Amino acid sequence: MAQPQKARTEENTVPITANWSQQNGWSISPPNSNVPLNGTAKLIAGDKNCTFCFSPTDTPFGASQNVNQGSPVEISVGAASFTVQVCATDRGSTCTPGAAPRAVGGYSIQVGDGFPGGKK
């Protein structure tokens, strides 16, 4: 019975990877992630160490998360629906989520249905 629980846990973990290239700058894959309620967002530094910045800052993601290559950061999102804007930048730097165009790493993460307090 432990095996089905493990599969369900992995199924509720959504990898979100920040990559950097000289040509395109920062990008996040997938660009608009959907994390189920009580799931986990797994933040991954793909090409080099990075900082993920979030808005609003009062969610389980906080204001930012520093992520090193090979050491993903897992964020348990909880039972409330919400959407955060996210951008990626060099580790230790900041970017402005929602204001950053996709070409410089501007994206979103939707938890549950994305609406605070549930779908209306």
- Tens digit of pLDDT at every position of the chain (120 positions): 444 434 445 679 999 999 999 988 888 999 889 999 999 999 999 999 999 999 999 999 999 999 999 999 999 999 999 999 999 999 999 998 876 555 555 589 999 988 775 443
Q: Which domain CATH number covers 57?
A: 2.60.40.420
Task: Tell me how far apart the alpha carbons of residues 84 and 49 are, in angstroms, rounded to a whole number.
Answer: 21
- Domain-located, residue 12: yes
C-alpha triplet 69, 20, 52: angle, nearest 5°: 65
- Domain-located, residue 119: no
Looking at residue 34, its amino acid is N
- Domain-located, residue 75: yes
| Residue 6 dihedral angles phi and psi, to the nearest 5° | -60, -45
What's the pLDDT at 11?
Answer: 74
For 86-109, write each residue's pLDDT tens digit: 999 999 999 988 765 555 555 899
